[in-house]
A and B are shown apart, each in its own frame.
Chain A
Amino acid sequence: MSMKNRSLVSINDYTREEMIHILDLAEGFEKEPHQNLLNGRVIASLFFEPSTRTRLSFESAIQKIGGNVVGFSSAATSSVQKGESLKDTILTVSNYSDLIVMRHPVDGSARYASEVAPVPIINAGDGANQHPTQCLLDLYSIRKTQGTLDNLEVTFVGDLKYGRTVHSLVIALCKFNTKFHLVSPIELKLPSAVKRHIKEANLQYEQYTDFMEVIPKSDIIYMTRIQKERFPDPLDYEKVKNAYILENSMLAGAKDNCRILHPLPRVNEISTDVDTNSKAYYFQQAQNGVYVRQALIAAILGVK
């Protein structure tokens, strides 16, 4: 499998086997997080918009495998503020690093960077488009809690229209014979472009506006936040805002193996009384991000 020197821009860039390979490597890093594999090689961490959570996860992953980090944590502290083009920034930074991790507010910026850069790019989020390492850590969390990725019933709840983590994960799970349950207000249904992937994989999905009936069927419940700004009419938001909140009492009929995931940060869509339920997995989920990122960097730099 050759991921060496290949950029990861979109989860669609990876086959089923390649995703599994990264998850297998990540398992090794979970067992043994500190391994000096990079021996001082330099990785650039370019955050054109702040995302402390993702940046710290990447930088921790780099340092735990012996790499050094250069870069910036917001556009304000970089030459971008002086009007430098993305291409020029990427070409300059390529001189100083073996790999670039980038987060950028513009959709498609990571794909473009991967086409101009002589070194591989890992997309740490490009606008509303893709965030493939989030997707890999979601897959890792699902496999870890279920023992498999195949033949699961996965329920997505909340904003399925704008949530990029939902889109990427749905597309990735299409390679694992998933049955999809899609719970959202009518205004925030999964876009037809994403449903097309489910149809093309000959898989089943059902759409619901009511949450309760799918809980007993679900192996995974993937919660997302519904934002008020998404509704042109604030009254429509008021009508649905409490309909997609998960409370501990609702999990009484859930399967034993059912786990709750959430890309975080959470606001109120998962009530805090769920946190102590053994089915809550969202905090461990975030921790898995470091292992997955270690695996990805090691694979791309060809040290694993």
Chain B
Amino acid sequence: MTNKRKELIVSAISNGTVIDHIPADKLFQVVKILDLDKTEKPLYFGTNLESKKYGRKGIIKISDKYFEMEDINKIALVAPTATLIEIKDYEVVRKDNVSIPEHVEKIVKCFNPNCVTNKENVPTKFNVIHVDGEMKLACHYCEKNTSQANMVFF
């Protein structure tokens, strides 16, 4: 497949953001985490696309929108391989890998059913910690750790 034909799978954008190298099965989660399901800007996405590095990948392109790194890093919890590409006048002006943030708010549920965030109307708040090489979310309220396997997104 030529580069040109590949581009046609998901339309090119003149100005905006491309999020590439999303694990194929995490595409819709990424859309949700970034609130893109509520956007009014033109949004293109594709998944199960071929990727040399990752086998199958997802990609999102959104016109006329740029993200704060702090916001985009939220997706690192589900899509640590994702890259962020900013486009201005069809030119790539910035390319960054996402990185795991230090704090995570509102987007993930605390896995402890007896946590106040699951019992009262309280938004979740976590510190990101690393225990024996594994990334976990330490709940600001109940102090329990939610591991990656237990993460549920709102």
Contacts and interface: CB of A to CB of B under 8 A. Distances in A.
A196 B145 CA distance: 12
Given A10-B143, A129-B142, A193-B145, A108 B121 contact: no
A151 B144 CA distance: 29
- For the complex, would chain B's binding face be called helix, strand, loop or mixed by DSSP majority? loop
A106 B139 CA distance: 14
- For the complex, would chain A's binding face be called helix, strand, loop or mixed by DSSP majority? mixed
Contact of B143 (A86, A87, A130, A192): A130
Contact of B116 (A107, A130, A192, A193): A107
B141 interface: yes
A163 interface: no
A111 to B, nearest CB: 5
A108 B115 contact: yes
Contact of A87 (B117, B120, B140, B145): B120
A86 B138 CA distance: 23
Contacts of B119: 106, 109
Contacts of B122: 112
Nearest to B122: A112
Contact of A106 (B116, B138, B140): B116
Interface in B115-148: 115-117, 119-122, 131-132, 138-145
B114 interface: yes
Among A86, A127, A129, which residue has the most Cβ atoms of chain B within 10 A? A129
B88 to A, nearest CB: 41
Given A107-B142, A108-B142, A192 B115 contact: no
B128 to A, nearest CB: 14
Given A85-B120, A127-B114, A108 B131 contact: no
Contacts of B138: 193
Nearest to B132: A192
Given A85-B121, A87-B120, A106-B119, A111 B140 contact: yes
A128 interface: yes
A130 B143 CA distance: 9
Contact of A107 (B114, B131, B145): B114
B145 A108 contact: no
A87 B119 CA distance: 12
B143 A112 contact: no
B120 A129 contact: no
Contacts of A192: 131-132
B144 A86 contact: no
Interface string A112-124: 1000000000000
A193 B117 CA distance: 20
Contacts of A127: 114, 142
Given A10-B143, A127-B142, A129-B143, A108 B132 contact: no
Among A108, A112, A127, which residue has the most Cβ atoms of chain B within 10 A? A108
A130 B116 CA distance: 13
B131 A193 contact: yes
21 contacts: A10-B143, A86-B120, A106-B119, A107-B112, A107-B115, A107-B116, A107-B144, A108-B140, A108-B143, A109-B141, A111-B116, A111-B140, A112-B120, A112-B122, A112-B141, A127-B142, A128-B114, A129-B142, A130-B143, A192-B132, A196-B131
The 9 closest A-B pairs by CB, nearest first: A108-B141, A107-B142, A108-B142, A108-B116, A109-B116, A112-B116, A111-B141, A106-B119, A107-B114
Given A108-B142, A109-B119, A109-B120, 13 more contacts: A10-B143, A106-B115, A106-B119, A107-B112, A108-B115, A108-B116, A108-B140, A112-B116, A112-B120, A126-B142, A129-B143, A193-B138, A196-B131
